[in-house]
Structure 1
């Protein structure tokens, strides 16, 4: 696969938006709305940090997802049990938006409090660069959508939070994604009913978490409001082909922690070999070289700017 630098080859003649997507948050939001409206099951990989987001953009994906579970695992070294704060997610959103030109979907868990807290969090996430913001109906502290022992708040309370999200945004293209975890708590029919109510209140997208059969996934895709489906290796939802998801009518196919699981495995293998052999010779082919590492984090582009501003 051929890769190009983040900002183009000539800082005097090439602007980021001309070759690599959207320069401003507003442009990213418009682009993302078009992706959602196309119902083409756009692949949405998860980024736990700014480096992952850079890799996602570099490969050629059209959007990225700030995963709350991945952020908790990588930044805190803890499981997804509602342990991150609004401030941490807002700061992570800003860091990613600074270096990644893709539209960013942000997982804000339960909104970090009541409807008033949710209102303020949406305002801050939008200012930080979010193109879409996801809120779920679990009882705080929430749990990973594929964990057992979840609980959901009353429907009216969740609808109030969605209203707060819609009122808080200043850009109509900032999409509000309403997620329900009721499938594991109250059953599939109850989850669909919640999804219908969330759509009626004005949610831009629906996310029915952890369906357990392909038929359930297809029923979710038939809902009139644009849909997101989440796949987790080892989770409750069976894997499906992208063509089948497009046929079912989904807008987004989320792989929130694929990169995280791959990274965890790679680190175990490389560091395990180092521990065993006292050398990296056996696993050199499992590692990016020094030049590739610097390219991905944009060093050639910054070198060009240094030459432009400080060179002779």
Structure 2
């Protein structure tokens, strides 16, 4: 079984490999297990998906530290691949940031990002955002770096200043965050391919993340296109959440209307296949191994 340290080492290697790392945000442990099974080498635990799956509410700062940490633990426990985590604004001041880092690291995350929005924050592609002074997040980055126990636990800075103050301010802030100790830089919501190129040119030696959101402000590019521009990894934050909601609505509409799932059946996994996927045989074998009748041999 891979240790948390093993997963962090793996994530570091993936991040510095020539090929870009493509990650899906998993709304829950089952989605994370599916992502791993189809070949994703790492998964992401993020606020938008967690707020939707846990509270059925938008990404508007309603989800709290405890709920995010609980979801992270569930996802980490479900997969053997690294899990990177969204820590919003750090859930408070620098002392809270230190606590967040210690808690997320202990839960098994490969790293986390913190952002410079004013709380309550909102999804990076929603209107109406505002940002704190850059020095505030720089101090949080320093606190995060100081709080981690292992250097392989990576700290990423995220700035939402592009929509608020323009690209240059976002770049200047990210330079400050990098100087404060951020291992990875994330400029949220660039609005053109040229802006993506400018970000990559500004940070040629720094691991960079891109965010590919359906119907968002950033052009949707393939992983290869982003790799060619200079990005280290790309994340698909909402794809699974939107697909889940669509599938739920289609199936439940049919069920409510017709009383059965005949039309949707072709898009559902089979009973035995699902039980195999979630490890029923392993649990049955474990139960048999420690069945009372078998254990009597140890006490007679």
TM score, norm. by length of structure 1: 0.90
Partner of 2:43: 64
Q: Structure 1 residue 39: deviation in Å?
A: 4.8
Q: CA deviation at 1:26?
A: 0.3
1:242 paired with 2:223, answer yes
3-state DSSP class of the match of 1:40? coil
Q: Equivalent residues in 2 for 1:11-26 (5 A)?
A: 17=1, 23-26=2-5
Counterpart position of 1:100: 79
* CA offsets 1:84-136 (integer angstroms, 9 cap, x no match): 11111111111111121110101010000111111111101100111011111
Using CA pairs under 8 Å that are at least 6 residues apart, name the structure with larger relative contact order, 1 or 2: 1
1:193 equivalent to 2:172? Answer: yes
What is the count of residue pairs matched by the alignment?
A: 291
Measured in 2, the distance between the counterparts of 1:182 and 1:300 equals 50
- Unaligned runs of at least 5 residues, structure 2: 295-300
Q: CA deviation at 1:309?
A: 3.3
* 2:82–2:109 contact (8 Å) kept in structure 1: yes
Give the match's secondary structure for 1:91: helix
1:111 matched to 2:119: no
Q: Bigger radius of gyration, 1 or 2?
A: 2
RMSD between aligned residues: 1.3
1:69–1:80 Cα contact (<8 Å) kept:
yes
Gaps of 5+ in 1: 1-16, 18-22
Identify the residue that residue 304 of structure 1 maps to in structure 2: 285
1:120 aligns with 2:93: no
Secondary structure, aligned partner of 1:196: helix
Q: Deviations over 1:52-93 (max 9, x none)?
A: 111111111100000111000111010000011111111111
Structure 1 stretch 286-295 or stretch 226-235: which is displaced more?
Answer: 286-295
Kindly indicate whether the alpha-carbon contact (under 8 Å) linking 2:139 and 2:180 is maintained by their aligned counterparts in 1: no
Paired position in structure 2 for 1:225: 206
Residue 22 of structure 2 aligns with which residue? 43
Aligned counterparts of 2:106 and 2:53: Cα–Cα separation in 1: 24
Q: Are 1:39 and 1:252, in contact at CA under 8 Å, matched by a contact in 2?
A: no
